[in-house]
Amino acid sequence: MPDRILVFYGSYRSDRQGIKLAQWLVAAFRERGAEAELIDAKAVDLPILDRMYKEHAPGAAPPALEALAGKIRAADSFVFVTGEYNWGVQPGLKNLTDHFLEEWYWRPAAIASYSAGRFAGARAGLAWHGTLSEMGMVVTSSTIAVGGIGSAFDADGQPAGDGGKALTRAFPRFADDLAWWTEAAREQRSRRPPPY
């Protein structure tokens, strides 16, 4: 059974650079045999959080929210692709994740960060680690961090320059780590229901 991986991306900017990283990750996971899908927060376009998915009566959630809840529940694992905004997380991605809670439980998540600068979004990645753990996910220790995102991909969306080289070196371990935890979590859920 192929791993079902949702790759989340959260920038709402008109000149988005990180989308190239998110799209490349989807393709790279598919090349490994996974069923990977990009979930673009801007395309989903949820409103600023007023009511979580679970706070809607059954069948009464807005269609985009209902559809995304189903995809999250059906996924085996998640990848969060995050830019860094003033040492923090992207508000669009954070808003999307906050619409859900129990839907995330008992699945692994991996973090891929990026920025225009040399720190490669590492501070946002660190912030996401605690957030995703609090939301019931097991966060893998392997990360991807791409600095100089504007020059890390060529016009065809392929890794380029120093940032692209670092990405292609880091990806196999990143993917192997996520695959191991994905299998472990899926098998454990099949043997024993989660405790809550």
Give the global pTM.
Answer: 0.96
The pLDDT tens digits for 2-19 are 999 999 999 999 999 999
CA 68, distance to chain mean position in Å, is: 13
The pLDDT tens digits for 181-191 are 999 999 999 99
Secondary structure in 3-state letters for 124-193: HHHHHHHHHHHCCCEECCCCEEECCHHHCECCCCCECHHHHHHHHHHHHHHHHHHHHHHHHHHHHHHHCC
Could you tell me the pLDDT band of residue 95, with boundaries at 50, 70 and 90?
A: very high
Q: In this structure, are residues 149 and 114 in contact, taking their beta carbons and an 8 Å threshold?
A: yes
pLDDT at 86: 86
Q: In this structure, are residues 84 and 111 in contact, taking their beta carbons and an 8 Å threshold?
A: no
pLDDT at 85: 85
Domains and CATH numbers, the chain: 4-191 (3.40.50.360)
Q: In this structure, are residues 18 and 149 in contact, taking their beta carbons and an 8 Å threshold?
A: yes
pLDDT at 196: 81
Q: What is the DSSP letter of 51?
A: S
- Report helix angle 91-98 to 122-134, nearest 10: 10
Average pLDDT of the chain is 95
How much of the chain, in percent, has pLDDT values that exceed 70? 100
